[in-house]
Amino acid sequence: MSSGKNLNQETTEPLTKTESELDNDGNTPTSENAIKTDSESEITSDKKEDNDKIKIKFTHPMPSFLWTDNKEYGPYDVGDEIEIFSEVADLIVKKGRAEKVS
């Protein structure tokens, strides 16, 4: 063991790279061929959703709710106007709680 480490130290050191972070040769990819992580994909996805918002006006009171982004929205009163993901807006409008605002 010329490296100065014993076998136990070599096998118990934590791995610092996952398989997906390595290229086919076992090297860390360069920025040119870097792999997106799950969190980077989520950020890109979130940015897309941010651009897809619709303004609605509540015609009935609405209690607070949790959406798929794990954020709490509401509660809302009659006349409140918000800009929210089109998916949520469509559902609230379909349920008759609000109307779309131009």
pLDDT at 47: 47
State pTM to two decimals: 0.51
Does 2 reside within a domain? Answer: no
Q: Look at residue 1 and tell me if it is in a domain.
A: no
Q: Which residue has the higher pLDDT, 45 or 99?
A: 99
Residue 26 to residue 17: CA distance in whole angstroms: 10
Structural domain contains residue 85: yes
Structural domain includes residue 75 = yes
78: pLDDT strictly greater than 60: yes
Residue 53's CATH number: 3.40.5.50
* Structural domains of the chain, count: 1
pLDDT tens digits, one per residue of 13-68:
454 445 555 555 555 554 444 444 454 444 444 444 456 999 999 999 999 999 99
Task: Write out the residue range of the structural domain in which residue 64 sits.
Answer: 7-100
Classify residue 72: in a domain, yes or no.
Answer: yes
**pLDDT in the model for residue 102:** 84
DSSP structure string for 45-98: HHHHHHTSEEEEEESS-B--EE-TTS-EE--B-TT-EEEEEHHHHHHHHHTTSE
